[in-house]
Structure 1
Amino acid sequence: MELHQVRYFLAVASTLNFTRAAEQCNVTQPALTKGIQKLEQELGGQLIYRERQLTQLTDLGKEVLPMLARTLASAETARRRAKEFQRKEIAPLKIGLAPSISASLVLDLIAEIAKIVPGLTVELREGAAEKLIDLLLEGEINAAIVGDVQDIPPRIDDWLLFEERYVAVLAQTHQLANRHSIGIDDLRETVLLERVGCDVAPKIQRSYFPKEPPHLGHCSGHDLHLQYMAAAGFGVILAPEHMPRLPTLKTIPLEGDPISREVRLLAVQGRRYSPAQDAFIKVARLRDWSIEVRQRDVPPGRLPEMATSPALTRTSTTNRFQRIDPIA
């Protein structure tokens, strides 16, 4: 079955006249008739009654009409999207983020890319590092930003973006809120709020609570939920220093910066990058990430200023920023 045969049939179905259908398709009437006959042979039955001045669809023709119309529409949509992609009128970019990686880290990158790729459409997907690696290999996402990862497959390229420490995040009324720094012994005496799927939790457990586990209280799979719990006085969060926080919370360094992790960019080795993916990887690797983690120089309790970009704050019909639910 060829698309021009489907187009000929749909033209006759709409006009019920071979002459007008041929004119509509810009072909001769014999060529149109021959194309429809080949289509009938492939489908194994007559599609159109041809009775002098009377042209009607057969029962088979009526049955397949909506399916063939959808087929042609889908093919034309695919052709149009391909042309738009080649002209960079659409440029999809799917980025995976590990649960402890804030979306704020990629906002400025996306804003820079949007200036050179007008049709940029971004989708952020959240999942555990191992799941994100699977999605990379399956082609479901273009790149991923993760924390400490064990056993990166050989097929995955990875680049170190920066190293960051973890800080204590707590309510201003918490009993530890007046400290200039908080020691590990202090953490043993307080309730820690757990981020489900966080890559730092096993590291804390192995390194600083080898014999007796920390006192873990409430937990959630979303950072904002934990922040509201902390603001209500339910406990302390150990969070990466780049993470944006509620203004009612206070951040305090840990003594000696005992907990840190490397943040890495991942992509599949050897694959041809799309224009959007190529721009994202180049901008991410060339970026001065010390700007993003300058919170280590900010006094405890004060939030770092978050950059906002006109490319992401304006209403636009060509640049879309999409957030979807975490990966199951």
Structure 2
Amino acid sequence: MEMHQVRYFLAASRTLNFTRAAEECHVAQPSLTRAIKLLEAELGGDVFRRERNLTHLTVFGQQMLPLMRQCYEGALAAKKLAASIQKGAVASLTLALSHSVSMALLVSPLRELMRAFPALELRFLRGTPPEIAERLKKGEAAMAIAGPLGETWDRLDAWPLFSEGFDLVVAPSRAPPAAGGAALADFAAERLLTRPYCEVADVWLEFSRQHEIAFGGEHAMVCDADLMQLVGEGLGVAILPKSTPCPEGVLRIAASDLDLKRTLYLYAVAGRERDVQTAALINLLRARAWEPPAP
């Protein structure tokens, strides 16, 4: 399989017109047609169906499209990296994270990435779901990890990484007796430290309304670090994802009536050229057998 065949296939899949695809690739149409025919022979199936003025991808072609795109983008990224290395340039990668995503989740894949690219410089951005979506659109971040963004942009690729439940976190002095377990109702007199920056904040509000869950008031927080400080001092309780590490002096309790879950996703912009470092991290994150850190 030659890269020019893949390039011609991608151009034809975008235009659905062999003449325009040939013009885009600066080749004669017979050359483009011949290259695609050779590609089909190598793949063992037709990728296009041409019916007079109507050209469209076959089912087989639709299945091959994301793989061909990934193959071509990987080749371009490798060429770009090679040129950067030859010039002595330092590569960088910007990753956007939701305020509710723990950096502890990324330590292992980032360590693997840095072993492969020792000169790589990382930049991290934090934001709310709308802010993260906007950073991706503007190209300010190459990729992002967050819960549901509530974004319907058709160029946004979203790969689920893992799903997890939530626990109640309290100060040791507020913990119930060990026997018999605990329920949210046991903490009705406590103030709840809320996380309006979390992607599932609205889901929690609906959950608490449906199950008639009430606390003795609320404190609205702006980050998990401040939240943990107040919980540890006994100034309230909080509901956190299982993957959020708890510091010493804060207890995690599996409440029997807390049936709440979230899914974390890896986001990137489809069709945007990715350098080899970004492609490598995307592959690492998607291939990882995710096990949220133990509390």
**Normalising by structure 1, what TM-score?**
0.60
Q: CA deviation at 1:107?
A: 1.7
Alpha-carbon spacing, 1:86–1:202, altered in 2? closer, same or farther (3 Å): farther
Task: Show CA shifts across 1:207-243 (max 9, x none).
Answer: 2224676444323212111111001001111111111
Q: CA deviation at 1:87?
A: 5.9
Q: Tell me the residue number matched to 2:155.
A: 155
Q: Helix, strand or coil for the counterpart of 1:114? A: helix
Q: In 1, Cα distance between the equivalents of 2:255 and 2:152?
A: 29
Contact 1:164–1:241, Cα closer than 8 Å, also in 2: yes
Q: Tell me the residue number matched to 2:202.
A: 202
Alpha-carbon spacing, 1:177–1:163, altered in 2? closer, same or farther (3 Å): farther
Alpha-carbon spacing, 1:226–1:279, altered in 2? closer, same or farther (3 Å): same
Q: In 1, Cα distance between the equivalents of 2:170 and 2:254?
A: 11
How do 1:29-68 and structure 2 match up within 5 A? none
Task: Give the aligned CA root-mean-square deviation in angstroms.
Answer: 2.5
Q: Tell me the residue number matched to 1:118.
A: 118
Contact 2:184–2:257, Cα closer than 8 Å, also in 1: no
The one-letter amino acid paired with 1:107 is V
Q: CA deviation at 1:151?
A: 3.6
Task: Show CA shifts across 1:38-63 (max 9, x none).
Answer: xxxxxxxxxxxxxxxxxxxxxxxxxx
Q: Tell me the residue number matched to 1:94.
A: 94
Alpha-carbon spacing, 1:203–1:288, altered in 2? closer, same or farther (3 Å): same
Contact 1:180–1:253, Cα closer than 8 Å, also in 2: no
Q: Tell me the residue number matched to 1:165.
A: 165
Q: In 2, Cα distance between the equivalents of 1:283 and 1:90?
A: 21
Q: CA deviation at 1:150?
A: 2.3
The one-letter amino acid paired with 1:198 is C
Q: CA deviation at 1:176?
A: 3.1
Q: In 2, Cα distance between the equivalents of 1:135 and 1:85?
A: 28
Q: CA deviation at 1:89?
A: 4.9
Q: Tell me the residue number matched to 1:280.
A: 281
Q: CA deviation at 1:179?
A: 6.3
Q: Helix, strand or coil for the counterpart of 1:106? A: helix
Q: Helix, strand or coil for the counterpart of 2:263? A: strand
Q: In 2, Cα distance between the equivalents of 1:143 and 1:177?
A: 44
Alpha-carbon spacing, 1:192–1:175, altered in 2? closer, same or farther (3 Å): same
Length, aligned pairs only = 214
Q: CA deviation at 1:147?
A: 1.2
Q: In 2, Cα distance between the equivalents of 1:269 and 1:176?
A: 49
Q: Helix, strand or coil for the counterpart of 1:255? A: coil
Task: Show CA shifts across 1:73-111 (max 9, x none).
Answer: xxxxxxxx9964666752211111111111111121111
Q: Tell me the residue number matched to 1:319.
A: none
Question: 1:131 and 2:140 equivalent?
Answer: no
Q: Tell me the residue number matched to 2:251.
A: 250
Q: Helix, strand or coil for the counterpart of 1:234? A: coil
Contact 2:174–2:234, Cα closer than 8 Å, also in 1: yes
Which stretches in structure 2 are left out of the alignment for 5+ residues?
Answer: 1-80
Contact 1:89–1:118, Cα closer than 8 Å, also in 2: no
Identity among equivalent positions (%) equals 25
Task: Show CA shifts across 1:8-50 (max 9, x none).
Answer: xxxxxxxxxxxxxxxxxxxxxxxxxxxxxxxxxxxxxxxxxxx
Contact 1:170–1:177, Cα closer than 8 Å, also in 2: no
Contact 1:205–1:213, Cα closer than 8 Å, also in 2: no
Q: In 1, Cα distance between the equivalents of 2:148 and 2:216?
A: 23
Q: In 1, Cα distance between the equivalents of 2:241 and 2:118?
A: 32
Q: Tell me the residue number matched to 1:221.
A: 222
Q: CA deviation at 1:152?
A: 3.5
Q: Helix, strand or coil for the counterpart of 1:254? A: coil
Contact 1:88–1:117, Cα closer than 8 Å, also in 2: no
Alpha-carbon spacing, 1:271–1:250, altered in 2? closer, same or farther (3 Å): same
Q: CA deviation at 1:184?
A: 3.5
Q: Tell me the residue number matched to 1:269.
A: 270
Q: CA deviation at 1:195?
A: 2.2
Q: Tell me the residue number matched to 1:67.
A: none
Contact 1:219–1:226, Cα closer than 8 Å, also in 2: no
**Normalising by structure 2, what TM-score?**
0.66
Contact 2:95–2:123, Cα closer than 8 Å, also in 1: yes
Alpha-carbon spacing, 1:206–1:93, altered in 2? closer, same or farther (3 Å): same
Q: In 1, Cα distance between the equivalents of 2:177 and 2:275?
A: 48
The one-letter amino acid paired with 1:173 is S
Q: In 1, Cα distance between the equivalents of 2:178 and 2:200?
A: 25
Alpha-carbon spacing, 1:177–1:104, altered in 2? closer, same or farther (3 Å): farther
Q: In 1, Cα distance between the equivalents of 2:179 and 2:148?
A: 29
Contact 2:169–2:252, Cα closer than 8 Å, also in 1: yes
